[in-house]
Amino acid sequence: MLSTAGPAASHSLIVASKPFANLNHNIPRFLGFRQFSPDCSCSGSVSFGWNSGSKRKFNRSRMEGFAVRASAQPLKNADELIDSVETFIFDCDGVIWKGDKLIDGVPETLDMLRSKGKRLVFVTNNSTKSRKQYGKKFETLGLNVTEEEIFASSFAAAAYLKSIDFPKEKKIYVIGEEGILKELELAGYQYLGGPDDGGKKIELKPGFLMEHDEDVGAVVVGFDRYFNYYKVQYGTLCIRENPGCLFIATNRDAVTHLTDAQEWAGGGSMVGALCGSTQREPLVVGKPSTFMMDYLANKFGIQKSQICMVGDRLDTDILFGQNGGCKTLLVLSGVTSLSTLQSPKNTIQPDFYTNKISDFLSLKAATV
């Protein structure tokens, strides 16, 4: 076991901003805090980092001044939307596939967009696979997608830790599956937990004290089919008792598509358990956090106004696009129904909506 390098205080997370007296008003939405004031008057940037002398800054001005959008319009002229953007970012579950079943018309649609010179990027909140593993899934479904075009929240967790110069001598406790472990390993980080802790049980005897690794500097929580009480307690101890320990969530999705037959409890249920036990809110790296959007824009040199986000969820995909300043297209092939979109209770309105992405083909033909 490695010993902690330096005093514990030197590994605390720094947030260089205004005081925390008005936490919900001063922290940008990409940190995952659900309460956020759209008329926030704060300005400047917020910087994150471990005490290593290196901090990364994120501009939060784009997180301010959100206005209620006009009702979404049905997509009628596909060519007009296609010609107006350079890059299409697609969610995967509910847009490209459901479970392990490809949605009709996807291969032809992607081929058409590539033929028109469009950059395609695939972003998923599902952290169970690494980018390489997702590449194999695309291949199995007959889709030609490179690893460089895939951004999963498992990768986002590792990328975020690198962006704040998380110390390599610290460890990461993972409540999640193999995808997170593989991405952390590729990034050069030490980890424990994951599927290996899925079979562990706690025998509650009088006076029993559960030990935990004091070198854990971050707990990463994602979707976990092997979730159990051992993991809840271990993660809780690390977050509450290890000085400066980060609480990172890959996403807070309420439901997910494990099969095409029904919706299943999503990663948000695992994250919620840790929120309850630690009384802490996580830093969210997946959608609708803007971390992945910022990463993509910087990596490819894309202007966000030249991006169209295509997804099936209002509170993750569409909000992700809106938070990033992109055009947005909702498809009704996944979670969101037309009645949900048009409900008076719904305040998230995409620019356009359509049934599925293959409508790009039929609507294109209709305008010729």
Q: Which residues are catalytically annotated?
A: 86
Q: Label each residue of 163-232 as H, E or C.
A: HCCCCCCCEEEEECCHHHHHHHHHCCCEEEEHHHHCCCCCCCCCCCCCCCCCCEEEEEECCCCCCCHHHH
Q: Is 210 exposed, middle or buried (0-12, 13-18, 19+ CB in 10 A)?
A: exposed
Burial class from Cβ neighbours inside 10 Å (0-12, 13-18, 19+) for residue 256 reads buried
**Which of 250, 278, 253 is CA-nearest to residue 265?**
253
Dist CA 363 CA 179 (whole Å): 37
Instruction: Give the span between the Cα atoms of 329 and 310, in whole angstroms.
Output: 5
Q: Are 15 and 48 in contact (CB under 8 A)?
A: yes
Full strand arrangement of the beta sheet holding 14-16: 14-16, 45-49, 56-59
The H or E element that residue 360 is part of is: helix 359-367
Residues listed for the chain: 368
Report the amino acid identity of residue 144: N
What is d(CA 71, CA 342) in angstroms, rounded to the nearest whole number?
Answer: 8
DSSP type of residue 106: H
Q: Strand runs (DSSP E) across 69-128, as ranges?
A: 73-74, 87-90, 97-98, 101-102, 119-124
Kindly report the backbone phi and psi dihedral angles of residue 239, in degrees, each rounded to the nearest multiple of 5, phi listed first. -65, -40
Question: Terminal CA-to-CA distance of the chain, rounded, Å?
Answer: 67
Q: Are 310 and 350 in contact (CB under 8 A)?
A: no
